[in-house]
Amino acid sequence: MLSEKIKNTINGIRPQFPTEQALLLPVLHLIQDEYGWVSEESMKSAGEFLNLPLSKVKEVASFYTMYKLHPQGKVDLQICTNISCWLNGADKLVACAEKRLGIKCGETTKDGSFTLSQVECLAACGTAPALMLNEDYYESLDVPKLNEILDQASKDLAAGKVVGKTTRKEGVWP
């Protein structure tokens, strides 16, 4: 069952979308925002709300890497390892993050704080290497900058602050 908040948001933006199917992307974003990931149960609810078969919802949710189909850490650290980033030191960033967090790419720290992954092109090739920390972008990185980012994120998490959503404007879609 989708929350009232999600239903209200979708009902509010419905006139801007040509079909119910086109609303699936925002519904999945909102589910992920609320629960931290997109479960099968949530996909069923999304399908019922938009009158789409579960197979269609799964097809879309599993196509885009931005939708997380398993529980995630509070901070989703995605390091681009595509060609521009790789040529500019992404391998060093991955090695640094793995060592510091004590996990491999695709894993979550035991305390549930960080999930680390390698991703394909974040569309910041001109300022490679790049990463995303939840919704925030960081570009032209090196290992010292990554350490600063992780220091700050850990500090903010410990203080109970929201991490990696500095560009978020509440009540505005997208």
Residue ranges binding ligand FES (CB under 6 A): 80, 82-85, 121-125, 128, 130
- Residues near 87 by beta carbon (within 8 Å), at least 6 away in sequence: 128
- Residues near 149 by beta carbon (within 8 Å), at least 6 away in sequence: 131, 133, 138
Provide, rounded to whole angstroms, the least separation between the CB of residue 63 and ligand FES.
Answer: 19
Nearest CB to ligand FES, comparing residues 8 and 65: 65
Nearest CB to ligand FES, comparing residues 9 and 82: 82
Nearest CB to ligand FES, comparing residues 52 and 122: 122
Provide, rounded to whole angstroms, the least separation between the CB of residue 19 and ligand FES.
Answer: 31
Q: How far apart are CA 62 and CA 60, in angstroms?
A: 6
Q: Which two tokens stand for residue 32?
A: 């992920």
| DSSP-based three-state secondary structure for 129 | coil
Provide, rounded to whole angstroms, the least separation between the CB of residue 84 and ligand FES.
Answer: 4
Provide, rounded to whole angstroms, the least separation between the CB of residue 79 and ligand FES.
Answer: 9
Provide, rounded to whole angstroms, the least separation between the CB of residue 90 and ligand FES.
Answer: 7
Q: How far apart are CA 121 and CA 133, in angstroms?
A: 15
Nearest CB to ligand FES, comparing residues 37 and 86: 86
Task: Tell the residue number behind the tokens 């609810």, with chain if given.
Answer: 45
Is the C-alpha dihedral spanning 71, 102, 142, 91 positive or negative?
negative
Nearest CB to ligand FES, comparing residues 126 and 144: 126
Cβ contact 150:158 at 8 Å: no
